[in-house]
Chain A
Amino acid sequence: SYELTQPPSVSVSPGQTASISCSGEKLGHKYASWYQQKPGQSPVLVIYQDDKRPSGIPERFSGSNSGNTATLTISGTQAMDEADYYCQAWDSSTVVFGGGTKLTVL
């Protein structure tokens, strides 16, 4: 079965750029989506189709996908961006999630 791998944790200073990776075999041939989940809340879609932002998502969130890696980038990271982030892809008519990355803003 298809697998997506994320680093367990990423740390960033306020105002700096955070990058969260998601790796999978030939992931660049698929489309990646990203979700933000804060404690006690449901996940929120922040990026879909590799690099599209849903309405209401700040411009500091961006995405890319090439080769075997998709990347979520948060520019000018704010304290409110501290959360868990999950990548997701579609493979053989099934949904696959990455294991999640805890973003710490300190």
Chain B
Amino acid sequence: QVQLQESGPGLVKPSQTLSLTCTVSGASVSSGGYYWSWIRQHPGKGLEWIGYMYYSGSTNYSPSLQSRLSISVDTSKNQFSLKLSSVTAADTAVYYCARLSRVAGTETSYYFDYWGQGTLVTVSS
């Protein structure tokens, strides 16, 4: 059974860096075929894709966040992490980590099959 669990500060001051970690169990972040991802949801709003990292180390980020964003992986701990710099109140949201899987034999069929429980991060002084 694959499980993901977010952890990190629930309160971050404006202009500082938001840092979250996702601990994965039941699967390896070093395994091919999966994209380890972050998604956020502003209060009362829809889902917003943040970015992902492939096991090879390659990343892809949302264009709107790219300049402030970094996603990395720690294979020794089976974790991946998110760092979002220069945060403002607009970054207040529930942050989810999730596994993005690709259907074998397709190039464009991707879906999130496992999600963490989400963690609320509030940006406030």
Q: Which A residues lie at the B interface, using CB under 8 A?
A: 1, 30-31, 33, 35, 37, 42-45, 48-49, 54, 84, 86, 88, 90, 93-100
Taking CB atoms and an 8 Å cut-off, the chain B residues in 88-125 that contact chain A are: 96, 100, 103, 106, 108-113, 115-118
Across the interface, name the chain B residue whose C-beta is closest to A90: B110
Known A93-B60, A94-B60; judge A100-B47 contact (CB<8 A). Answer: yes
Complex CA gap A54/B110 in Å reads 13
Known A42-B118, A94-B62, A95-B37; judge A88-B111 contact (CB<8 A). Answer: yes
Closest-CB distance, A101 to chain B (whole angstroms): 10
Complex CA gap A43/B116 in Å reads 9
- Flag if B49 contacts A30 (CB, 8 Å): no
Which residues in B have their C-beta under 8 angstroms from that of A37?
47
Q: Which B residues lie at the A interface, using CB under 8 A?
A: 37, 39, 46-49, 52, 60, 62-63, 96, 100, 103, 106, 108-113, 115-118
Which residues in A have their C-beta under 8 angstroms from that of B110?
31, 33, 90, 95
- Flag if A97 contacts B108 (CB, 8 Å): no
What are 11 pairs between A and B in contact, CB < 8 Å?
A42-B117, A43-B96, A45-B111, A48-B109, A90-B108, A90-B109, A90-B110, A94-B49, A94-B60, A95-B39, A100-B46
Q: A42-B118, A95-B52 are in contact. List 7 more A-B contacts (CB 8 A).
A: A31-B109, A35-B112, A45-B111, A45-B113, A48-B111, A49-B111, A90-B108
Known A48-B103, A54-B113, A90-B109; judge A95-B46 contact (CB<8 A). Answer: no
- Flag if B49 contacts A43 (CB, 8 Å): no
Which residues in B have their C-beta under 8 angstroms from that of A96?
49
Complex CA gap A43/B49 in Å reads 13
Complex CA gap A48/B113 in Å reads 9
Closest-CB distance, B64 to chain A (whole angstroms): 9
Contact for A42 among B60, B62, B109, B116, CB less than 8 A: B116
Complex CA gap A44/B113 in Å reads 8
Closest-CB distance, A88 to chain B (whole angstroms): 7
